[in-house]
Amino acid sequence: MKLILNNFFISNFINNKLTKTIKTNFKVLRRVPKTGIIIHENTKVLVQGITGRQGRFHTKLMLEYGTKVVAGVTPGKGGETVHGVKVYDTVKEAMMESNNVNTSIVFVPSPYCLEAVKEVLIEGIKLVVVITEHLPLWDALNMVNIAEEKGARIIGANTPGIINPKAKCKVGIMPNKINIQGNIGVVSRSGTLSYEIIFSLLEEGLGISTFIGIGGDKIHGTNFTEALSLFEKDKDTEKIVMIGEVGGEEEEKAADYIKENISKPVVAYIAGKYVPKGVKMGHAGAIIEGEKGTAENKIKQLTKAGVKIAKTPKETAKLLQKTK
């Protein structure tokens, strides 16, 4: 998986500079119970696909960050343990023994992902973070529709996840060390771009309240508008960073929403300014159709809404510092 492989290289780069940056530029704020949006100290996580290579690896990192991972599921592997987390054959069995589970993270291969998500939704879990990429459109549409019927929230698919540093809770695959507590809310379609921008915030002495990776696929659960609405209401978020890219109309819709509903300062970076029209770039959602979906049009609409636009990922932090 592209996002996961990139984590290894990004982490090596970050570790060379991180310790000095944290000590010099950042003050850790006092921890307050049940803070942040979507996830918090009482988030209890079930890992679907926990015995696979990626599930096993990222379970370890989530535990190290402070996330309460209380159960895992892999059919046929019931009774095993992964980093001290008990593994069950089914979600129902896991829920019977770990009845405080309220969140699932999915590392299940694409052909089986829809059934995995349906399984946790049927058992009443209200937050599902879907790391899996290359999900068929029909499966993605079904997944989102079933979640809406059940009153549940989907993050993804093809997402790096969500993280709340103040609550020491990470449900995803993003690097641990760059996500330090602060007052900047970050929402992004891209995983690797978000890592770069969050690290640039850290270099400038800025931290994050919550990061939400909405995913790069054409159809996904939580979108920009929903994330912006949550950040607007969040007392721990003072400014917002929005990381978009070519393809689709989500950024344009977000611009309309910002104009009418967001009072907090927003800084955006839009990737793909030089992508040729009609060419799909990386993410399933990154395809330009006519004038819709171009970086130029997104930037134009966001600028009209009063959003400051960063020309480079690194400039995002500089603009935030200048924005009141």
Q: Which active-site residues does the annotation give?
A: 283
Whether residue 125 contacts residue 2, with contact meaning beta carbons closer than 8 Å, is answered with: no
**How many Å is the Cα radius of gyration of the chain?**
19
Question: H/E/C letters for each residue in the chain?
Answer: CHHHHHHHHHHHHHHHHHHHHHHHHCCCCCCCCCCCCCCCCCCEEEEECCCCHHHHHHHHHHHHHCCEEEEEECCCCCCCEECCEEEECCHHHHHHHCCCCCEEEECCCHHHHHHHHHHHHHCCCCEEEECCCCCCHHHHHHHHHHHHHHCCEEEECCCCEEEECCCCEEEECCCCCCCCEEEEEEEECCHHHHHHHHHHHHHCCCCEEEEEECCCCCCCCCCHHHHHHHHHHCCCCCEEEEEEECCCCHHHHHHHHHHHHCCCCEEEEEECCCCCCCCCCCCCCCCCECCECCHHHHHHHHHHCCCEECCCCCHHHHHHHHCC
The dihedral region occupied by 129, where left means phi > 0, alpha psi between -120 and 50, and beta the remainder, is beta
Q: How far is the C-alpha of 207 from the C-alpha of 184, rounded, in Å?
A: 6
Cross-strand bridge partners of residue 46: 71, 104
Task: Tally Cβ neighbours within 10 Å of residue 116.
Answer: 23
